[in-house]
Chains A and B, each alone.
Chain A
């Protein structure tokens, strides 16, 4: 399957712990985007990355959230010291082109903070 892969699909963390979400883009895609979806809401853009570079992080909370897309391996969205308000579905998308590229989404990671 050459689609966007995300793991884990479900993640439960206690308040104060760290959450690490992984995303492997479609084969041949070098542009990765992260989105957050709250219940009954549309997706909200968080960050856009290319290999080893953050291109646009205008949607990322200023604290506790970080993202990377290393030269080798998946993209990682890291949430430090999670709080209950971080509970949401986090989706990764990838595209072949950056500025007009159609974005294809993974199945998401459902984060629950207890």
Chain B
């Protein structure tokens, strides 16, 4: 089956620093999504990407859909304490007749030191 490798597994940064994390896949996806999950809650959708090469921003967050369709990255600029949490990438094949469930990475734990 499809697998997503998400890195880094965890990050310890200072408030105000920029953050970068990425996901790579052994096979292509047609959609990439980035989610944030707080303890005890469900994942919250941050950014959705639909085209290879697409670069999309949502406030301080920027994500890109890799040209090969096998990778994506998420950047967070000027981190603040509420950015703490677990960030997941997810890929979807999304073709009629194919599996539509999302394939998730194992997450990046972001810890911010004031």
Contacts and interface: CB of A to CB of B under 8 A. Distances in A.
A98 interface: yes
A40 B100 CA distance: 24
B73 interface: no
Interface stretch (B11-19, B41-49, B59-67, B74-82): B41-49
B: contact size bracket: 20 to 34
B101 interface: yes
Interface stretch (A14-22, A55-63, A71-79): A55-63
Contacts of B92: 100
Interface residues of A, number: 29
Nearest to B41: A107
Interface in B24-58: 30-31, 33, 35, 40-45, 48, 50
B110 to A, nearest CB: 15
Contact of A99 (B4, B88, B94): B94
B95 A99 contact: yes
Contact of A55 (B30, B88, B100): B100
A103 B45 contact: yes
A112 to B, nearest CB: 14
Contacts of B4: 42
21 contacts: A33-B101, A33-B102, A42-B6, A42-B105, A43-B90, A43-B104, A45-B102, A45-B103, A46-B101, A47-B101, A59-B101, A93-B102, A99-B94, A99-B100, A102-B33, A103-B33, A103-B45, A105-B42, A105-B45, A106-B42, A108-B42
